Structure 1
Amino acid sequence: MKHKKIISSIIILLLLLSITACRTDNIDEEITVNYEEESIVYEPIEGGQIVLPLTNLSTLNPLMTENISYYHFGKLIFEGLFQIGNNLNVIPQLAEDYSITNEGKTIAIKLKKGVSWHDGSEFTSKDVGFTISTLKYGKDTSSYYNMFQATDDIFSLSGMSIITDFNIVDDYTIDIHFKDGASNNLELLTFPIIPQHVFAESKNTFASALELENYVPIGTGPYKFVEYEKFKNVSLIAFSGYREGKPYITNIDGKVLEDDKLIVTAFETGQLSMANSLGVDWDKYKSNNRIKIIEYISNNYEFIGFNFEKEIFQEESGLAIRKAINYGIDRQAIISKIYLGHASQIDVPIHPDSWLLTDDANTYGYSIEKAKEVLNQAKWLDRDNDGILENENGEKLTIKILTNGSNQLRLNTTNMLVDDLKKLGFEVIKDYGETYFESPTDDSVSTQWEEIERKISEGEFDLVALGWEMAIIPNYSSMFYSVDTELGDNFIRYRNEKMDELLLNIHSATNRDYKKRAYSYLQEFVVNELPYISLFYKNRALLVDTRIQGDLNPTFFNPYNGLENCFIPQELR
């Protein structure tokens, strides 16, 4: 298993895989809102300025950027045919309507009319065709092409190569043809559309559209690019020609800062209007009337993996042990004590907000009685009264657990897991350092990961507590598909023909109803078979200056979701 498979670039994973109202306060605390009193209702009004965080940029080109902060910021400028909705399903953005035909191999798209580029030109199907051609031309360089390739699984072609052709029917109609009827074809059409006419005069239009330097962003989104002061600031202004109406907030600046710690510090000192929190202790901001906290579920999935080459986890006896462990882990206690309540328990590796989720996602609850009952039925008993269970051959129930101690939350979680397992009668060997260093060096973290990778690669573990940054388009074959045990993925060495069949069905679902049904069967199988024990998804929080009012609904793939409808009351500017 590669290191990047565990903690790979978020921006690559994003495309693969709490409605709240913001109350306001003056940033200098000249006006104070008492939250215990009746809320003040303000009328939306145009004007005002906010500042959002960016980290160091190498380009403003949305097809080439690998910067996650600009990826999010860029959603204010650029739009796609489709976007991911709050429930992680695909919803039209520049598309008005669509139909899936030819066994899922063709998506016919009707475009919205009256959409303008920021330079006043009309958006048409030619722009869509040009963007697709640009991405296919830039297969070796485009970050979006690479993102699509990262969605690739054992069943499909690599990324954009699955799009074989397109047919422009008229200015507002385009048919896009795919190599096969893969269930994620619609999700692939969320890439940002760029304007053909801007690059039409270039000798090589596709190469020009993929330029890194001196790229001038022109999109169809609610905000229009004004200027970029390199390594310092990106300025946007509300687009008066936006089809949904001009945004209320007039100016948005992206302030470039070195890292996430400096971003939070800048927010705390009033230099930024929003910032994602660090860690899990954001409740400390509740006493600050300048700060509104909007919590949401991240894509950080924590789990326990088994080494299925170990006899102890095989056959019916092995399934009993896996079920006992799942019943015996007090996940709510971990969430409460370690994550301060900021995580969402789940039994499957599917995001808790997903439209694909079924009731199977919450099957197991903490029950030490059920856990012990399952172990006793499998003939694991404390035969010598030493507190450790033995089987009929007198072999003790001993397991070795591996994790990365450089991650304090995961270290503390694993220690609680060990305590829970001991209560069930397991003898647990900790194969990790128990001391967390407050500021581990990059070298020490890298060295630790290299050792973990070696142990996993060589099968020197029984249990492993780790995490994935899950995708909007998850690649479950890399987690569970049998063939991937030989390809370096599926590091738990899980082999099951039924699972392989379910994964194939997910891949080949030719419409949305079939896709939902295929995911339902997968979830039922996962909670019964338990190739992983799902612990929870970690939550995050967007910290927002309370001058900003309106329906802001951050998600892990778009923290500024709804910002175009927010406003700053005149009296709070």
Structure 2
Amino acid sequence: MEGKKLLILLLVSALLLSFTGCNNEIENNTGQSTVNAIVEEERIYEPEYRGKLVLPLTTLNTLNPLLSENLFYYHFSKLIFEGLFDFDDNLDMISVLADTYVIEDNGKIINIKLKENVIWHDGEKFTAEDVAFTINTIKYASEDTIYKKMLNNSIGIYNPKNINRIINVQILDPYELNIIFDRSFSHGLETLTFPIIPKHKFVIDRENKKSYAQALAEENYIPIGTGPYKFEDYEKFKTIKLNSFPEYRNGKAYIDTVIGKVLENEKLILTAFETGQLHLAIPLDVDWGKYAQNSRIRIYEFISNNYEFLGLNFKSGIFAGENSKGIRKALAYGIDRQKIIQNIYLGHGTQAETPIYPDSWLIWEDANIYGYSPNKAREELEKIGWKDINGDGFYENENEEEVIIKLLTNPDNLLRTKTADMIIGDLNKIGIKVEKDYPEFSQDNLNEDIIEAQWEEINEKLMNKDFDMVLLGWHLSTIPDLSFAFHSSQIKSGTNFINYQDEKMDEILFEAFNAENRNNKLKAYKKLQSHIVKELPYVSLFFKNNAILIDKIVMGDIDPSFFNYYRNIEKWYIPKEFQGDIE
């Protein structure tokens, strides 16, 4: 279904974006457990080995991590495969297969020394040859493969080129290499999180196109990685079996066996979890608090990468005029975002002023300037000459003309239409007359054809600039480049569908993209956020929170994130008395 949603698919550089399933979403206490409401003191167990963990999967076409776009397999494959780097809680970089790194030549070269104690699951040593082979394989892959798209769209956004000329590898010795970019590039480390595959598995005599083709095979792919779990068996469309890898460099995982149970969709996954067939599931809606009453279940909530915002039409209409900024500020002050989060999302959201992940190391704390204030909203409107001339409770503009703003959104998303209704109510209260530009549908009557038709209509309005204001969302990438949304060069591609043009914004975005080191990147992103809150190309609302539901017999360092549900899984354990619960 989401394959039809242009507004999501436009952001092809967003890695997790392409792993969406067929749900109707476009989408505090990070990592904190919502403790069961049953009043009883839980027994404390010490970590123990053995046991079996059953995790969810949806129907998948391949086990190849360089090809699969299945969300559940993306997370599951992290038990098998690892990258050079990964993200921490703040989306800063941590070394995984890399040991140390140095950024050189004004950001064009990343010198990496690899860990020397890494073993592939088949017993071979991991070396720089494997990293080079993986990058060459991705470069050889077709343009529509997920990591090829990620590299092309993150590195080549300002000067599109074939990825083969953008990134290269120089092997210095078996455990040292240089990653070489053809330009200064601040997101180099973030792009090096793709899974590394073993060269020796695919190269017989010498590395060539045949080797790459074999590494990109979709059928009969046998995963061999360096992670805490080793692939054992795949019963097609039924189960994937993994066993803990005894020679894992960080120590053998506590849980011996992990079973990936394949089910048709997320609804069946939740049913299987509720009936005790799975140890873990993802809630389908925001009312997951109801599970807190179940003594069998723990809830771990985290901030997702699903960002909600109001987009404004800068091409024509009210937001194309010279007083547009005053109106935008009035919108930012006049919408009670916390009330929306509490009333519609049941508290499961995190207010945001910019499209930067709220816990990011790049966040600028001083960006939080638009708290809910109807009085400040009215002041902004009156500064630009708006008055309620006829006493009907709504402002007329500086030319004494009636002002009506139409709000567009996708009616198949019930949470979003409820949000739109509240936004309209808030803005009407401060004297901005806003009307619905979306039909009301009974959720019971929605089907795929109706939803597809609705999205085609919305896309047509957006591309034709036939809208005033639109409530939508992005699945934002872990690579925090906002050029896709705000750079003038992206108007033609359609990702800057609001038609926003600002030379200073273009300069700052390029500075953030082109930063030569991590310190300069941090400075550039502070400048970028300062400009965003000043200019308000979007009226930011919030990031949605998400959660995992987990059987309380699973214990340990459970710390899910939107980019890795199973983070620290080697430290999870099941006490001996519960080890035979799920068969």
If the length of structure 2 is used for normalisation, what is the TM-score?
Answer: 0.92
Moved more, 289-298 or 137-146: 137-146
User: In the alignment, is the contact (CA less than 8 A) between 1:53 and 1:274 conserved in 2?
Assistant: yes
1:425 maps to which residue?
431
Distance 1:405-1:390 versus aligned 2 partners, 3 A rule: same
1:135 maps to which residue?
138
Mapping of residues 392-431 of structure 1, within 5 Å: 392-431=398-437
1:14 maps to which residue?
15
- Is 2:475 the partner of 1:469? yes
Deviations 1:239-291 (A, max 9, x none): 00000000001100000110111111111111111111111000111111111
User: In the alignment, is the contact (CA less than 8 A) between 1:226 and 1:235 conserved in 2?
Assistant: yes
- Is 2:119 the partner of 1:116? yes
Aligned residue among 78, 85, 90 for 2:88: 85
2:78 maps to which residue?
75
User: In the alignment, is the contact (CA less than 8 A) between 2:86 and 2:193 conserved in 1?
Assistant: yes
Deviations 1:133-181 (A, max 9, x none): 2111224464321232343563144584354422211111111111111
Aligned residue among 455, 464, 484 for 2:461: 455
Amino acid corresponding to residue 490 of structure 2 in structure 1: D
1:96 maps to which residue?
99
Deviation at 1:487, TM superposition (A): 3.1
Amino acid corresponding to residue 67 of structure 1 in structure 2: N
Distance 1:557-1:240 versus aligned 2 partners, 3 A rule: same
Amino acid corresponding to residue 505 of structure 1 in structure 2: E
Amino acid corresponding to residue 8 of structure 1 in structure 2: L
Mapping of residues 316-395 of structure 1, within 5 Å: 317-395=323-401
1:503 maps to which residue?
509
1:27 maps to which residue?
none
Moved more, 60-69 or 343-352: 60-69
1:171 maps to which residue?
174
Distance 1:436-1:496 versus aligned 2 partners, 3 A rule: farther
2:188 maps to which residue?
185
- Is 2:203 the partner of 1:200? yes
Distance 1:292-1:5 versus aligned 2 partners, 3 A rule: same
Distance 1:520-1:159 versus aligned 2 partners, 3 A rule: farther
Mapping of residues 522-537 of structure 1, within 5 Å: 522-537=528-543
Distance 1:153-1:166 versus aligned 2 partners, 3 A rule: closer
Amino acid corresponding to residue 100 of structure 1 in structure 2: I
SS of 1:443's partner is helix
User: In the alignment, is the contact (CA less than 8 A) between 2:10 and 2:494 conserved in 1?
Assistant: no
1:28 maps to which residue?
none
Deviation at 1:495, TM superposition (A): 0.8
- Is 2:496 the partner of 1:490? yes
Distance 1:392-1:157 versus aligned 2 partners, 3 A rule: closer
Q: Which runs of 5+ in 1 are unaligned?
A: 25-32
SS of 1:240's partner is coil
Aligned residue among 549, 553, 571 for 1:565: 571
Deviation at 1:439, TM superposition (A): 5.0
Moved over 4 A (4+): 2-5, 9-12, 15-24
SS of 1:103's partner is helix
Distance 2:481 2:573 in 1: 39
Distance 2:299 2:83 in 1: 29
Distance 1:287-1:78 versus aligned 2 partners, 3 A rule: same
Distance 2:277 2:194 in 1: 31
Distance 2:432 2:33 in 1: 49
Distance 1:374-1:143 versus aligned 2 partners, 3 A rule: closer
SS of 1:245's partner is coil
- Is 2:260 the partner of 1:257? no
1:50 maps to which residue?
53
Deviation at 1:315, TM superposition (A): 5.4
Distance 1:16 1:67 in 2: 11
Deviation at 1:310, TM superposition (A): 3.0
Distance 1:193 1:47 in 2: 28
Moved more, 560-569 or 160-169: 160-169
Deviations 1:430-470 (A, max 9, x none): 11113342351111001011111111111111111111111
Deviations 1:330-352 (A, max 9, x none): 11111111111111101101111
Distance 2:522 2:4 in 1: 31
2:527 maps to which residue?
521
Distance 2:126 2:398 in 1: 73
Distance 1:292 1:100 in 2: 42
Q: What is the root-mean-square deviation of aligned Cα atoms in Å?
A: 2.2
Deviation at 1:34, TM superposition (A): 8.2
The size of the alignment, in residue pairs, is: 564
Distance 1:161-1:372 versus aligned 2 partners, 3 A rule: same
If the length of structure 1 is used for normalisation, what is the TM-score?
Answer: 0.94
Moved more, 483-492 or 407-416: 483-492
Distance 1:360 1:14 in 2: 29
1:41 maps to which residue?
44
Distance 1:240-1:71 versus aligned 2 partners, 3 A rule: same
Amino acid corresponding to residue 555 of structure 1 in structure 2: S
User: In the alignment, is the contact (CA less than 8 A) between 1:51 and 1:252 conserved in 2?
Assistant: yes
Distance 1:466-1:15 versus aligned 2 partners, 3 A rule: closer
Sequence identity percentage? 50
Distance 1:463-1:170 versus aligned 2 partners, 3 A rule: same
Aligned residue among 276, 287, 310 for 1:281: 287
2:254 maps to which residue?
248
User: In the alignment, is the contact (CA less than 8 A) between 1:323 and 1:530 conserved in 2?
Assistant: yes
User: In the alignment, is the contact (CA less than 8 A) between 1:124 and 1:172 conserved in 2?
Assistant: yes
Amino acid corresponding to residue 329 of structure 1 in structure 2: I
Amino acid corresponding to residue 420 of structure 1 in structure 2: D
User: In the alignment, is the contact (CA less than 8 A) between 1:15 and 1:151 conserved in 2?
Assistant: no
Q: Which runs of 5+ in 2 are unaligned?
A: 19-28
Deviations 1:200-246 (A, max 9, x none): 22782221111111111110000000000001000000100000000
User: In the alignment, is the contact (CA less than 8 A) between 2:16 and 2:475 conserved in 1?
Assistant: no
Moved more, 437-446 or 101-110: 437-446
